[in-house]
Amino acid sequence: MKGNKSHPMDLFSSAYHIHLDRQVLTVSELTSQIKEILEGTFVGIWVEGEISNFRRPSSGHMYFTLKDEATQVSAVIFRSLNRDLRFIPKDGLAVIAYGRVSVYERRGEYQITVEYMEPKGIGALQLAYEQLKERLAQEGLFDPARKKPLPLLPQRVGVITSATGAAIRDILHVIHRRFANLEVILYPVQVQGETAAGEIARAIEEMNRRGKIEVLIVGRGGGSIEDLWAFNEEKVARAIFASRIPVISAVGHETDYTIADFVADVRAPTPSAAAEVVVTSKDQLSQRMDELIGRMLSSLQLRLQRYATSLSHMKGRLQALTPQGMLKLQRQRLLSVTDWLERGSFAILQMKRESLQRAVGKLGALSPLAVLERGFALCMRLPSLKIVRDAEEVGIGEDVLVRLFQGKILCQVKEREI
């Protein structure tokens, strides 16, 4: 029971006990101690998580939450470190962050101050590339309608690349080999390393200011994605886009496109190919000239031929209308009539001849000679040679001529039988 009584006392006394030993901290002191412990302990740590609630106010600092299935922690990337990030963080992205824990005393909160961060899974460069590509595409930097046509006949070509690299050698090789008669102005730049992108962008701007240059080749020989990185940087992309001079990108990597390739007015897969683009335009023009001259000549020839044909046609018609021509025409008609006549009369003659022959044949059958051949004889009075058909026509003792098949005989009538 006593204990019961003392119960409130106990409570009190325990509180009292606490009270006696107490060392009261102000909130600031507490926070300061927490800060000391946390910031002293969690330095140079790697944390893995997913970004959420990402925001970037006008201050330029980036604020977000790193979380996993169970919990979360706030994180910040200060503006001064933003530049070193090669991608833009966004919600849902799995990342590995390096940094330290810091305590934000005003709000009694702790957060991770990120000093370096990379996307988990794909490489940071790859992600940066994809993100920049998407952003610039949306801005219209790759718009085909914004691409400038290359000059028809460039005389002065600007080349932005390393003075000692393979790219300039390859370009000059093509130009010499093709007798291109081009003026090449090389603006030497670093094509890899920290300063490369800045140098390339500046070179593009300065070449534009110089004037007289009609086309720019910007590029380098092949390399790894890190080597080519300058051509994936935003400042290079923007400088190409802003260039008044048409730009041919020539980053020596046939399969992968750099951001510069997308922005450039023409993309050549290699520096040699870029030089060929410039030189070929000249060859093609020269071919086009030949074609135009040929067409011009043949169209005139055709016309002259047409004139000549119609002229000779007219001359023919005119000639037919002169007196000589008329005479000739009539003579021709006469000739043809004569000819026709001749041919006609010959045919008639032939016909007559044939019918005559037929008649002669018939005659043959009726000829007395044919009768004589069979042994009959003709008896004729003399001198009339009248054929005797009746014995009464001749007197006794009268001479008659008897005709035989072969020859004649003179006979005297000795008797008559009537």
Partner 1 sequence: MEEIPFEEALKRLEAIVAKLETGSLLLEEALQAFEEGVRLARVCSKRLEEGETKISILLRSENGKLEERPFEVVPEKEDEA
Q: What distance in Å separates the CA atoms of residue 75 and residue 59, rounded to the nearest whole number?
A: 15
Shortest approach of partner 1 to residue 144 CB, angstroms?
A: 22
Shortest approach of partner 1 to residue 250 CB, angstroms?
A: 17
Cβ proximity to partner 1: between 71 and 164 the closer is: 164
The string of DSSP codes covering 258-306 is PHHHHHSSEEESSHHHHHHHHHHHHHHHHHHHHHHHHHHHHHHHHHHHH
Shortest approach of partner 1 to residue 164 CB, angstroms?
A: 6
Cβ proximity to partner 1: between 135 and 313 the closer is: 313
Residue 367: left if φ>0, alpha if ψ -120 to 50, beta else—which one?
beta
Footprint on this chain of partner 1 (rule: CB under 8 A): 151-153, 155, 163-164, 168-169, 172, 175-176, 179-188, 206, 210, 282, 285-286, 288-289, 292-293, 295-296, 299-300, 302-303, 307
- The phi and psi torsions of 6 (rounded to 5 degrees) equal -75, -5
Token pair listed for 156: 């002065």
Cβ proximity to partner 1: between 168 and 191 the closer is: 168
Cβ proximity to partner 1: between 302 and 359 the closer is: 302
Shortest approach of partner 1 to residue 212 CB, angstroms?
A: 11
Q: What distance in Å separates the CA atoms of residue 400 and residue 415, rounded to the nearest whole number?
A: 13
Shortest approach of partner 1 to residue 72 CB, angstroms?
A: 53
Residues facing residue 89 across a β-bridge: none
Cβ proximity to partner 1: between 175 and 263 the closer is: 175
Q: What distance in Å separates the CA atoms of residue 185 and residue 278, rounded to the nearest whole number?
A: 14
Q: Which of 92, 90, 114, 88 is nearest to 101 (CA)?
A: 114
Cβ proximity to partner 1: between 299 and 336 the closer is: 299
Shortest approach of partner 1 to residue 129 CB, angstroms?
A: 30
